Copies of this chain bind each other. A is one copy, B any other.
Amino acid sequence: MKLTVNADLLKEREKCTFDVEELTNFLDGGATQTLNRRKLENFFLSDPRLKDEVPMEYLSHKERYEHAVRKSCILFQKVNEWQQSDESTSSSMEIYKSLLGGSIGSAIIKDGTPFSVHYVMFIPTIMGQGTLEQQGYWVGRAFSNQIIGTYAQTELGHGTFIRGLETTCTYDPAAEEFILNSPTLTSYKWWPGGLGHTCNYAVVMAQLYTKGECFGIHPFIVQLRDEETWNPMPGIKIGEIGSKLGMNSTNNGYLAFDKVRIPRMNMLMKNAQVLKDGTYKKSVNDKLTYGTMIFVRVVIVRDLVCSYVSKAAIIATRYSCVRRQSELKPGAGESQILDYQTQQYKIFPAIALSLAYKFAAMWLWDTYNEVTSQLDLGNLGKLPELHAMACCLKAVSTADAAVAVTKCRLACGGHGYMNCSNFPNMYAMTSATETYEGENTVLLLQTARFLFKSCHDAKCNLILTETVSYLNTFKSSRRKTWNTNLECMNNAFTQVAGSKIENCYFTINQLVNSGMSQEDAWNENTIKLTQATEAHCRAFVINTFITTLKTVKLSAELMKVLTELCKLICCHWIINQLGDFLQYSNLKSNDVPSVQSLLEECLRCIRPNAVGLVDSFDVRDEILASALGVYDGNVYERLIEDANKSPLNQDPVNISFYKYLKPFLKSNL
């Protein structure tokens, strides 16, 4: 293996006009955080037990799972070691973020760990919905990995519509026990991560029956497997749901109950309670259970979307500097493919996107923490806005991420189709986020309800919250002459969002006034409602990007580059939804060439800094896990090295020749 850095990449790095480390530190939240992150990465990524001899793509489904369990056990054992070491400077939150998001963990178990739901949902649910006593009993055992749990809500026939879940949990006051039952095939629990063979406990969501009455969905802790033998407990049927597009070592499982009894105290009773005699005591506030759900959506935007879009951009950018193909001018020699305008247009928006969603995620995370602390004081005022923004940001960012990863893959031509590029796995991980934890269309329509209500409030001259305040003001900038300053483009996004929301509001009210039911009127406008919500989300992301640029203190050189990226994403999104901007904003038909020119100008300006930008994302080769994206640019050497890891390449002649091919060839003589 060559150890020198590819000459083209060296030249790219010399051209960079800003301090790469300055941007790295800014993205990490400070130089100390960069240092801590790198220490943490060193600790986990230097362990030889966590490296694969044969890449997981060559293994059977079963082997992949077994390796994932082996490595997960080492990984989470090391968490304790790290926390007890002198070097330990990262918070637990940082460690779990690295191990379960798109960074360290994804380098070690590309296909997902079967333990993730234990940390991301099992423990948080007990903490959020258990009494203090229940938390004391279960959380300690869970955090020290004496038990491994999952969260079982979705059923084979039921996902989005939680009220439709069929699993029942009936209280038997004589025994002071609950009886769990799966009355139908469609009531089988289906999807929980780790449920197949890895977990021995679960929080199970089921329809609570007591004293002959149904009180709806409640959470129960259920033991699934014997702690000694690991056999399923009596009355429990359990297995994995089978192979998937990706995440094949997360061991998603199914689960059915045949009259399984659990103690009364296994109902999580922080909110609602069932007393010994079977009396049901209602929850004080239903909204308190939103916590975990919102948390997971926030984490998807912050840790998965940003991480996978960054990685895709790094790989495609570096590869496009090393790859030379065709001649821009006859006889001039083959060009770096990053010099083609069409190639820049596939890749640079991904660089900008990863920053845009990073800033949006920071807002979301801060707001989440603020709202959560307010919740504990009983103040629910900001919850609807947080919920609305978490829904639409999760939906729009995951859809954009899947497209960005795909575009970057396609920008790498055939080599991007190889698993050793890491694109196929990154796509599988990214696209999964479009569906899990709230299907995207469903989430957009949840935000639409908030926007509809906010629009109504605006008409009633009520005060609007931060993210929808433009509903009161967006029309004022409509008459201004167009220019391509950030302020003008920012206003145009709110004009589009405001108009689209208002149009839906008027249309639906008109239908209702003409005699249609509210539900029918809503349902006949859901395409437009999802599009209005998307416009709202994009306006928020653009505004947050611009606001961030206004408030941070960075060098002039870096600020210039970040501003170019911000302009790029503005132009890109305007051109993508040009019809909206022509209809609803102050952009006129003869202004369009100025937007297209700015777009092309941004691509040209970003070109010399492209490698510097992706270098600043500071993703180690182990985490990139891509032959095409390696820091030293020795792409072709890596490709052949990776090919030779294929078990098929260990023998010059495959056994199928003797068994099938030779008889076949001879039979035709």
Contacts and interface: CB of A to CB of B under 8 A. Distances in A.
A410 B424 contact: no
Nearest to A669: B146
A479 B339 CA distance: 41
A426 to B, nearest CB: 11
5 A-B pairs with the lowest CB-CB distances in the bound complex, closest first? A578-B579, A245-B424, A69-B656, A73-B664, A57-B243
A501 interface: no
Contacts of A577: 579
A328 B516 CA distance: 14
Nearest to A2: B185
Contacts of A579: 575, 577-579, 581-582, 592
Contacts of A416: 435
A188 interface: yes
Contacts of A528: 596
Interface string A155-169: 011111100100000
A70 interface: yes
Contact of A410 (B327, B440, B660): B440
17 contacts: A59-B61, A60-B60, A66-B659, A70-B659, A70-B660, A146-B668, A146-B669, A148-B665, A154-B414, A157-B636, A159-B325, A188-B640, A191-B414, A244-B418, A245-B427, A254-B643, A579-B582
A323 B642 CA distance: 43
Given A434-B410, A530-B342, A659-B70, A664 B325 contact: no
A323 B664 CA distance: 46
A441 interface: yes
A657 B578 contact: no
Interface stretch (A13-21, A386-394, A461-469, A517-525): A517-525
Contacts of A80: 668
Contact of A661 (B198, B432, B644): B198
B583 A230 contact: no
A324 B154 CA distance: 14
Contacts of A52: none
B326 A160 contact: yes
A199 to B, nearest CB: 10
A427 B428 CA distance: 11
A258 to B, nearest CB: 15
A230 B666 CA distance: 13
Interface of A: 55, 57-63, 65-66, 69-70, 73, 76-77, 80, 144-148, 154, 156-161, 164, 185-186, 188, 190-191, 196-198, 227, 229-232, 238-246, 251, 254, 323-330, 334, 340-343, 345, 402, 406, 410, 413-414, 416-420, 423-424, 427-428, 431-432, 434-436, 439-441, 445, 517, 519-520, 523-528, 530, 575, 577-583, 589, 592, 596, 599-600, 636-637, 639-640, 642-649, 652-657, 659-665, 667-669
A215 B485 CA distance: 54
Nearest to A647: B62
B334 A161 contact: yes
B148 A636 contact: no
A255 B668 CA distance: 27
A652 B229 CA distance: 10
Given A157-B636, A191-B414, A242-B420, 9 more contacts: A146-B668, A229-B653, A241-B639, A242-B418, A329-B517, A341-B523, A342-B445, A342-B527, A579-B581
A57 B343 CA distance: 34
A417 B231 contact: no
A639 B252 CA distance: 14
A198 B654 CA distance: 9
Nearest to A664: B73
A69 B659 CA distance: 9
A643 B241 contact: yes
A441 B342 contact: yes
Contact of A648 (B197, B423, B424): B197
Contacts of A663: 73
Contacts of A158: 325
A288 to B, nearest CB: 23
Contact of A230 (B66, B229, B432, B653): B653
Contacts of A581: 579
A17 to B, nearest CB: 22
A432 B423 CA distance: 13
Given A145-B668, A229-B653, A659-B70, A242 B589 contact: no
Contacts of A244: 417-419, 424
Given A325-B164, A653-B231, A245 B417 contact: yes
A219 B230 CA distance: 62
Contacts of A523: 328, 340-341
B245 A145 contact: no
A578 B592 CA distance: 13
Contact of A413 (B410, B439, B669): B439
B414 A664 contact: no
Nearest to A666: B146
Contacts of A665: 145-148, 227
A144 B637 CA distance: 39
A252 B664 CA distance: 21
Contacts of A664: 73, 76-77, 145
